[in-house]
Structure 1
Amino acid sequence: MCNIKYNKGEQYLRILKRVIEAWCMMMVIIMDKGIITAEELSTRKNAYLIYRTTLAKLSASVTLDGIVPIVLFIIFFVFYWQVAKIPFRRTVWVHILAAVFSVFVVVGYSFAATQSLELIFADYAQMTKAVVSLIGYYGLFLPCIKLCYLAMSRKNVFARAEKAPSGWIAMLMDRRPFLSAFVILLLAWLPYLIAYYPGIFMGDTGAQISQFFQLPNGTSNYLNLISDSQLINNHHPVLHTVLMGTAVKIGKIIGSDNLGIFLYACLQYFCMAAALAYGISYLKKLRMPRWFQGGILAMTALYPVFPRYAVLLSKDTLFSSCVLVFEIFLIKLVREEEAPGKKNAVLFLLTMLGVMMLRQNGLYVVLFSLPVLFLGKDKKRRRKTAMLFAGAIVLYISYTNILFPALDITPGSRREMLSVPFQQTSRYVRDYGDEVTEEEKEAINKVLDYDKIGEAYDPNISDPVKKTFHEDADSEDLKAYFKVWFQMFLKHPGCYIEATLNNYYGYFYMGNDSTDRRTRYYESFSTKCMEERINEKGFDFHHLDMFKGIRKFLEMVSEIVLHSPMLTIVQASAFYTWLVLLGTGYLLMLRRYREIVVLLPAFSILLVSIVSPVNGTIYFRYMLALMFVMPVLISAVIKGGGKPEENAPVLQQQ
């Protein structure tokens, strides 16, 4: 690796750039990013500078005492200087990503601290600090992304050794990758299956069981049902409701509600283990090194999030498992591996149906993947693939548009697609309610309960506001509402921007570790869901007291792991957003445009998440599918179309 030679003018410019980057990053670390008030200025050093001016506030924000700032500056300068010597490919994508990630961090920090953009735009001092932070983070992310891409392109880093592995586990993983991974996962997760018998309940579990047994529930109480005798509706995936309800019905025949729902938990447990084992075994097909394959297996077996979701009675687990298998099929199509036989064709078809039927956004995952039909030279293969996609989509449309009406199954509420405008209106009413006219109130009140939305507004979740939605609102009412919505936007566009960013910054910012997100599916939450949402309707679901000690131990271990540096980000929604963007930038840099198709399902999940009801800081399950597919996805990006030389241009000047 040779160094790049510069003339004297360019050398001075390089030094100046490194100095600015190092100084800004040093300032990011030592600078108080909070808003400095006039009262605080009087008690801080250098407050004698021009009182209440930007200079005084900036001076009060920074501690210049000690040698720490100097050491930090030297460390960053040396790091930036050395990385700049690498003859990296000139590409705009690395700079765009560094800038985007910098914005994510600065904006996300502001919302995590103040639930607004106040830390950025409160005054000139805050704007100056924001600019310094943006430059500092940009200077840090730029070399880090370059080093990441350099590692991804090195053949020796991600090469699979041809030599047979030593050790019986490694040999077994090499010879029987699927079976060995499947058995290891089943055994590793077994303590959770036993301790949390009959399964971990969450908010939707009781509602789905109630629907199946035609009992009043949260959704049937507000929807305009097609028939009062059919309480099953498509707010929750009907297929999943039927699967779960059938298991409970079998349990009632046997004489145990617990045993019934446990049958479903076991089905989900085995399906998730099989899907993840398939993904881990496919890493061998992609020629990923054994250390990587083994590391992913160890993480999947031991990281608490995986076994907890394996026994969580939620649609997200089966959906994410189907997305993983679907993604592998998609990668095979892009890489033009061997044409699928009848068995694989049937599995591919069933997987697509599972993706679409197990979650409302599953249809978008499949639709976003349609560009794969235009790839490849084998017309017969493309025609066969098109028939599979068409068959799956036609079956799904028939399922929702023919079967559902025939069974009087009511569609989900329109409100589920309106989280963004509803949150914007509610924040506007909260912050600028005195500016709302009577005419505007009337238009809003026909769609939402105007008197409640301002107080009900929660910046991180739209459910409290959506609950005030009037299901009988017609198209004219919605038209009048959106007219008012747009008028309000013109008056205070910043309010709308803040409402949206506040609701979704957790999908882009990794710095906010939510305790609620970590502990949501512990015993206390599960028991509460059992007792308050389903047991009062004549059921008897409960965790066994004899395993209470094991549950406490598992939750203690989970807390330790999820609080550990580096390990905690694995459960951060934004972590997967960043990985998807890094993978996309890598493919764009190398001009491997056709392979971006494998990332399109991930983008569909991201897009749906940022119009979902809840912030990524609170719920992780909306991103669970990305957690499942990420090892395979990143491996496919690294390995490309099976040609090692594709990554070579990373170090070439152009």
Structure 2
Amino acid sequence: MGNIRNVKDYNMQEKRILPRRRGGVLLCVLGCLFVFFVKTEKDLAAAGNILWTAGYVGSTLLWTVLLGCLLGVIGAFVVYRVAERPAPEGDCNGGRNGAGKDNAVFGRSAAWIQRRSGAQVFFGSLLLLCLAWLPVYLAYYPGICAYDAPVQTGQIVEHYYFDHHPIVHTLLLQGMLWLGTQLCGSMNAGMALYTALQMLLLAGSMSYGVLVLHRRQVAAGWQIVMLLLGMFFPFHWYMSVSMTKDTVFSAFLLLQLISLTDLLLEDRREWRPGVRDLLFFIGTVGMILFRNNGKYAMIVLLAFLFLAVCFGKRARKLWGRLFTVSVAAFCIGLFVLSAVFSATHAEQGDRREMLSMPIQQMARCMIYHGGVGVLPEDDGTMSEQDRALVNDFILDEAYRDYDPGIADPVKRHTNTYVVRYRSGDFLRTYFHLLKAYPGDMINAALAVDAGFLSPFDVTHAAVNEVQGREGLGYIQTRWEEDTLNNRGIYKDSKWPGLYDRLETWADGNGYLELPVLKYLFVPGSYLWLYLALAAILVIVDRKRYCLPLAVIAGYYGTMLLGPTVQMRYVYPVMLALPYLVALMCGTGRKTENEKTETEIKQGQR
């Protein structure tokens, strides 16, 4: 018995696992948050409104604590059972030596992959991904021109640019349309060229992820799973051929996150940057250029890196180099944006997108308390002063069009002048409403973010649907055909039969019919999976690998304050999660820094 305890104690010291009690508390807190949001979102969806009475709050907190702690205890049991498992003797990689230890299903393929060179792994993965997506490309040829395609092609045709959509992405599309016209005399061919380039960018970043797994000697089974997931996860099919900035942004974000994780695994304590730093730099600049909220996600990373430089004494050169590269990439990204604005004479877009949450909250307060007669529950208790400012801010009584799941019906009728030049009045009214009607403010936030916060939410699937119009499901494939046809862009499917099948699955939200597997598709799963990953990294004392999750946290912040839940918004975090899990949890070898810290701690004991 004593020998068993000694082995366990040594294993705990070697792995430096967080004490079980602290880890259990951490997971219980996470479990309570999960239960709270699942319960309140369920109640809100069922009743349409939550009255935050003392009785409701008390019963909700009771269920939250009971079920949340139960989930936390179960989670702690599983995490510690796996983390405390002793590594097999003679296995310096924690039992991950390769094909011999993999599942028999992968057997020969795993052994074969482990013998491949880096170039073979990268280009082989790239080829297989492109071949897997090729049928979808042919079915939707020249691409899915939904989302922002009508607006961006309109800017191109009229040579009038504004930054509601990233200028760099609009110019990239313009360049490909011009190239198609020059080479083939057709705008449609240019759109097909753009889609092909976008596919290559996305497949290239995913192939790089597989390459890093291979180079880090992560079990070949992980590599096979990543490749198969890239080839056959349906959302990759649709997004790879959807003409939208989100796909290009996803490719650069994945490159940035994988490169950053790879740098942390490498743990090279030198000031001089290397190839991986360059890839991290490119990924960072790209994600800033191809989504307007990319810079906000980077600000969160910069804040954490600054703290690491200040307090991470044992690896200060590593943190200093990463901070320097990040700041340089951030500044270069903003400089390029500024230069493009100057060259194109683009106009600054309206910032109402950033006001989506207060727009929803004020509109909800107005129809519940403004005396406007939309709902029988309207008690008319809002003050005249507050009503006056809301009417100045939300024009033409557009709050009557309030939709709990999406801000657009009200947002498009807002006067942002009020926020910009009467900010004192606006803030005074907003906080007065928050004090007077906190329940309605909370309900408005819960309603618009339901798809992000609860894996059991289904409202996200229908938030864009319009009666009598197809292609507006969770996966949007609808073209504004009249508008685009007039610009020389038209549907020209090379595989009509497959097109019909893909349209049926997308338009019918077929992913919701998949038992269990549907949770890989719904947006609400991913926030909790990322939080669980962060908690596990803290428990097993790999806190440094939470650094890439800071970017995800910054990006999630912009989504939670955004206008609605859309698959293209969630896609970047869907894409990145499997690669981060494989790298952070599938890499058995410790970095030199982790080894040094373990030796120091053991020496102190």
Query: Do Structure 1 and Structure 2 share a fold, with TM-score over 0.5?
Result: yes
Alignment partner of 1:292 is 2:222? yes
Distance 1:610 1:211 in 2: 29
Give the 3-state SS of the residue equivalent to 1:369 in structure 2: helix
Given candidates 127, 142, 146, the residue that maps to 1:202 is: 146
Is the Cα–Cα contact under 8 Å of residues 281 and 329 in structure 2 kept in the other structure?
Answer: yes
Matched, 1:415 2:371: no
Rounded Cα–Cα distance in structure 1 between residues aligned with 2:588 and 2:96: 16
Separation in structure 2 between the aligned mates of residue 306 and residue 560 of structure 1, nearest angstrom: 15
CA shift for structure 1 position 290: 2.4
Match of 2:283 in 1: 351
Instruction: State the 1:599 CA deviation.
Output: 1.4
The Cα shift of 1:179 comes to 2.4
Q: Residues 123 and 201 (structure 1 numbering): CA distance in 2 closer, same or farther, change over 3 Å?
A: same
The corresponding residue for 1:466 is 411
Higher mean C-alpha displacement, 415-424 vs 136-145: 136-145
Task: State the match for 1:605 in structure 2.
Answer: 555
CA distance in 2, matches of 1:129, 1:384: 47
Q: Which runs of structure 2 are paired with 1:102-251 in the superposition (5 Å)? A: 102-117=35-50, 124=55, 128=59, 131-132=62-63, 135-136=66-67, 138-148=69-79, 150-151=81-82, 154=85, 155=87, 159-163=95-99, 166-167=107-108, 171-172=112-113, 174-175=115-116, 176-214=120-158, 231-251=160-180
How far off its partner does 1:242 sit?
Answer: 0.6
- Deviation, 1:451, is 1.6
Instruction: Give the gaps of 5 or more residues in structure 2.
Output: 5-18, 101-105, 372-380, 599-605
Counterpart of 1:564, as a letter, is L
Q: Does 1:624 align with 2:571?
A: yes
1:489 offset after TM fit, Å?
2.0
* Aligned counterparts, 1:378-397, within 5 A: 384-397=321-334
SS at match of 2:393: coil
> For structure 1, which segment, 168-177 or 628-637, has the greater mean C-alpha deviation from structure 2 after superposition?
168-177
- Write the letter of the residue equivalent to 2:576: V
TM-superposed CA distance for 1:592, in Å, is: 3.8
One of 389, 395, 413 as aligned partner of 1:443? 389
Q: Specify the alignment match of 2:521 in structure 1.
A: 571
How far off is 1:422 after superposition?
1.0
Distance in 2 of aligned mates of 1:311 and 1:560: 19
The answer to whether the 8 A contact 1:173-1:181 is kept is no
Do the aligned partners of 2:250 and 2:571 also contact (CA within 8 Å) in 1?
yes
Does the aligned pair in 2 maintain the 1:159–1:287 contact within 8 Å? no
- Indicate how the Cα distance of structure 1 residues 462 and 498 shifts in structure 2: closer, same or farther if over 3 A, else same: same
Mapped partners of 2:84, 2:464: distance in 1? 39
- Quick one: percent identity of the two aligned structures? 25
Instruction: Classify 1:533/1:490 alpha carbon distance in 2 versus 1 (closer, same or farther; 3 Å).
Output: farther
2-structure distance, mates of 1:439, 1:129:
35
Is the contact made by 1:268 and 1:318 (CA closer than 8 Å) also made in structure 2?
yes
Most deviating of 344-353 and 500-509: 344-353
- The structure-2 alpha-carbon separation of the partners of 1:146 and 1:238, relative to structure 1 and needing over 3 Å to count, comes to farther
CA displacement 1:74-120 (0-9 Å, x = unmatched): xxxxxxxxxxxxx95553212211211211221121233234335xx
In the alignment, the residues of structure 2 paired with residue 384 and residue 527 of structure 1 have an alpha-carbon distance, to the nearest angstrom, of 43
> Is 1:424 the equivalent of 2:424?
no
Q: Are 1:280 and 2:210 counterparts?
A: yes
Please tell me whether the aligned partners of residues 237 and 359 of structure 1 are also in contact (alpha carbons under 8 angstroms). Answer: yes
For 1:480, the equivalent position in structure 2 comes to 425
Moved more, 626-635 or 383-392: 383-392
Deviations 1:178-218 (A, max 9, x none): 2222222111111101111000122211111111222xxxx
1:310 equivalent among 226, 231, 240: 240
Larger radius of gyration: 1
Q: Distance in 1 between matches of 2:313 and 2:498?
A: 52
CA distance in 1, matches of 2:571, 2:94: 26
CA distance in structure 2 between the partners assigned to 1:474 and 1:420 by the alignment: 13
Q: Does structure 2 retain, via aligned residues, the 8 Å contact 1:111–1:505?
A: no
Q: Could you tell me which amino acid in structure 2 is paired with residue 347 of structure 1? A: L
**Aligned mates of 1:145, 1:449 — CA distance in 2:** 52
Change (3 A) 1:588 1:166: closer
- Deviations 1:433-491 (CA, angstroms, capped at 9, x unpaired): 123344333322332216222x1211111111111112544744333222222222222
Which residue, 181, 204, 209 being the options, matches 1:252? 181
Question: Structure 1: how far apart are the matches of 2:354 and 2:48?
Answer: 23
Q: Please tell me the root mean square deviation across aligned C-alpha atoms, in Å.
A: 3.4
Q: Shift of residue 363 of structure 1?
A: 1.1
Work out the CA distance in 2 between the residues paired with 1:568 and 1:163: 30
Distance in 2, Cα, partners of 1:528 & 1:591: 47
* Higher mean C-alpha deviation, range 413-422 or range 332-341: 332-341
Greater alpha carbon shift after TM alignment, 272-281 vs 124-133: 124-133
Residue 360 in 1 paired to residue 288 in 2? no
Residue 489 of structure 1 aligns with which residue?
434
Shift of 1:528: 4.1
Give, in angstroms, the shift of residue 557 of structure 1.
6.1
